[in-house]
Chain A
Amino acid sequence: MAKREESAMWSIFGYLLSGLLFWGGVGYGLDHWLGKSYFTLIGLLVGVSGAIYLVWLRFGRE
C-alpha cells in the first residue's frame, strides 16, 4: 500500500503550496494597497502554519 503514501505526499505538497500562494498573495495585496512591506512575510507565515495545521488534521490526527 505504498500508493497511499505517494498520494499523501503529493497532497501535502499541494496544501503547502496553496497555503503559501493564497495567504502570501493576500499579504502581497495588502502590501500594495497599504504601501507597507511586511505583510507579505506575515502572509507567508500564516499560510505555512495554516497548511501545516491542515496537514495535521488530515494525516497526523490518529
Chain B
Amino acid sequence: MRELLRSGTGGGFVPPSSADFELPPVFGHNIYTTKPILLVFLSVILISVFFILASRKAAIVPSKLQFAGESVYSFVRNDLAKDVIGHDFLRFVPYLFTLFTFILVNNIFGIIPLLQFPSMSRVSFPYVLAITIYLVFHYVGIRKQGAIKYFKEIMFMPGVPKAAYILITPLEILTFFVVRPLTLALRLFANMFAGHLLLLVFILGGDHLLQGVIGLKLISPFAFGIGIVLTFFEFMVQCLQAYIFTLLAALYIAGALADEH
C-alpha cells in the first residue's frame, strides 16, 4: 500500500511509523475484515487442521506429521506444564497448549512471505490473552484457597514489621492486579511491534536507496542483507516470546495454586 503511494511521489524517505500498522479493510468498508483479523482466523484454521491431521491416524510408529504434532504437545506438556505447575498440571495443559500454538503461529506470520504481519502487534490481541490468564489464575487461586485467604496472602506477607505494610501492601496489590497482566500483554505486543518496525526500516530503507543515485544503489544491498539477517533474528524472537508468554502464564497459575509463593 505505502509502496504504491510513495513511488508516485518520489519525495524524501518516509520512515515507518505506527501508521503502518493500521491497515485498511480487505473487503470493502467492513472494518471487521482487516488483515490482522483475517490472519487470526487463518491461524485458527491452520492449527486445527494441522493437529487434526497429526492425531487422526495415531500409530505406535508415528508418521512424520504425527511426530511433529506430538513433539510440540510434549514440549508444552512436559517442559512447561509439568515442570512448573507440578502435580495436578494435567487440567491446565489444554489451555497452555492452545495459548502456545496460537501465539506461535500468529507471531510467525510476521516473517512468512506474502502474509508478513504479526497479528500480535495489534495490542488488543495480547490484551485479550492476558485477560484470560488473569481470570484463570485468580479463579484457580480463589477456588483452591478461598477468597479471603487468597487475598490476605497476596496483601500481607508474613514476617514483616507492621509499619512496613503501609509501604508494601499497595505495591503488592498493584503488582498482582494491574502490573502483571499489563506487562504480560505489553511485552508480547512491544516485541512484535518493534520487530516488525525494524524489518520495515531496513527493507523500505533499502528500497528507497535503490531509487537514489548510483552511489546509494550500491549501499542498498547491505540494507537488504541486514534485513534478511534480522528476519532470522525475528524468527528467534517470535518463538521465544511465545515460549515466555506461556511460561509466565504457567508460573502465575503455579503461584496461585501454591500455598506459599
- Do the two chains touch directly in the complex (Cβ atoms below 8 Å apart)? yes
Given contacts A54-B172, A57-B157, contact A7 B179 (CB under 8 A): no
Given contacts A3-B83, A6-B244, A46-B167, contact A57 B160 (CB under 8 A): yes
A18 x B179 contact (CB < 8 A): yes
Chain A residues contacting B159 (CB-CB under 8 Å) are 57
Contact of B175 among A7, A18, A47, A57 (CB under 8 A): A18
**B180 at interface, CB cutoff 8 A:** yes
State how many residues of chain B have any CB contact under 8 Å with chain A.
22
Chain A residues contacting B164 (CB-CB under 8 Å) are 53
Shortest beta-carbon distance from B1 to chain A in Å: 37
**B171 at interface, CB cutoff 8 A:** yes
Interface residues of B in 146-172 (CB under 8 A from A): 157, 159-160, 164, 167-168, 170-172
**B23 at interface, CB cutoff 8 A:** no
**A17 at interface, CB cutoff 8 A:** yes
A22 x B171 contact (CB < 8 A): yes
Shortest beta-carbon distance from B163 to chain A in Å: 12
Interface residues of A in 6-51 (CB under 8 A from B): 6-7, 10-11, 13-15, 17-19, 21-23, 46-47, 50-51
Query: Could you list which residues of chain A lie within 8 angstroms of chain B, going by C-beta atoms?
Result: 3, 6-7, 10-11, 13-15, 17-19, 21-23, 46-47, 50-51, 53-54, 57-58
